Amino acid sequence: MDTPVQLTIDDQAVSAAPGTTIHKAARAAGIVIPTICYHDYCTANALCRICVVEVEGSRTLVPACVAFVAEGMRVRTQTERVRRARKNILEMLASTVDLSEAPEILALMKEYGADAQRFPGALKRDPPLVDDNPMYIRDYAKCILCWRCVQVCASDAQYTYAINFEKRGFHTQISTFFQRPMPLTTCVFCGQCVGVCPTGALKSRRAWLLEQGMLE
Ligand code: SF4
Ligand code: FES
């Protein structure tokens, strides 16, 4: 067995196997580092950056979900700089995406004192709701582009590759190839994308119809 790495996180001595991420080492030590795009069953991609921490000697903040522990590392998870970065990220998300059905993100906004109205002139992402199959709806106005759905549809779980990113910059969104209706793609309606979506952007069609009062 490889010799464990010794480090400190928030002045607490922590021992972790080589190749462990800072996030997992912290979690094992009972220290919570917030995450949004990260999911235990998906490959971490460091897309949202809410998990940033300060590492002594590093000029920039470090995303804890992908950065590995190292011998003698000194990590701080709640400094002023870290908290300000997380607050900014949350405020930018809230300015552009409908987070009304994202309870974990709303809880973080409360914890970090994030102001959803901080950027009142920001463009809201507002693509039309897609209702093209009997199993689930896609409401990308609520999508934070965490990529979890793409990953479980691809090589993290299902290997069907029905969805991916399309377009660029602000207009980037999750889509099928050439925006084909879902029944005309490789989708097998396994539901895993719905299961990992943290914001209600993907929802079972039945749940959505119930919400709309179209089912009893
Ligand atoms: S639809 Fe949901 S799971 Fe997929 S990228 Fe958007 S927020 Fe993430
Ligand atoms: S949770 Fe680490 S970058 Fe999103």
From ligand 2's centre to the CA of 41, what distance in Å? Answer: 14
Nearest to 36 by CA among 65, 69, 77, 76: 65
**What pLDDT, on a 0 to 100 scale, did the predictor assign at position 215?**
85
Q: Where are the alpha helices (DSSP H) in 116-176?
A: 148-153
Specify the pLDDT at position 104: 97
Indicate the pairing of strand 173-176 with strand 74-76. unpaired
pLDDT at 191: 96
The residue whose CA has the least distance to atom 4 of ligand 1 is 149
Give residue 196 CA to ligand 1 midpoint distance, Å: 8
Tell which atom from ligand 1 comes closest to the C-alpha of 148. 3
Q: What is the dihedral sign for C-alpha 61, 64, 70, 73?
A: positive
Tokens of 145: 């582009």
The domains found in the chain, sorted by start residue, are 5-78 (3.10.20.740), 136-211 (3.30.70.20)
> Each residue's pLDDT tens digit in the chain (216 positions)?
689 999 999 999 999 999 999 999 999 999 999 999 999 999 999 999 999 999 999 999 999 999 999 999 999 999 999 999 999 999 999 999 999 999 999 999 999 999 999 999 999 989 999 999 999 999 999 999 999 999 999 999 999 999 999 999 888 999 999 999 999 999 999 999 999 999 999 999 999 999 999 987
Q: To test the ligand 2 pocket, which listed residue (24, 32, 37) has its Cβ within 8 A of the most ligand atoms?
A: 37
Chain mean position to CA 106: 13
Cβ neighbours of 130 (radius 10 Å)? 17
Which pLDDT belongs to residue 170?
Answer: 85
pLDDT digits (tens, 9 = 90+) for 68-91: 999 999 999 999 999 999 999 999
Question: What whole-number distance in Å separates Cα of residue 110 and Cα of residue 107?
Answer: 5
Ligand 1 center to 82 CA (angstroms): 25
Nearest CA to ligand 2 atom 1: 35
Q: Whose CA is nearest to atom 6 of ligand 1?
A: 143
Q: How many CB atoms lie within 10 A of CB 2?
A: 7
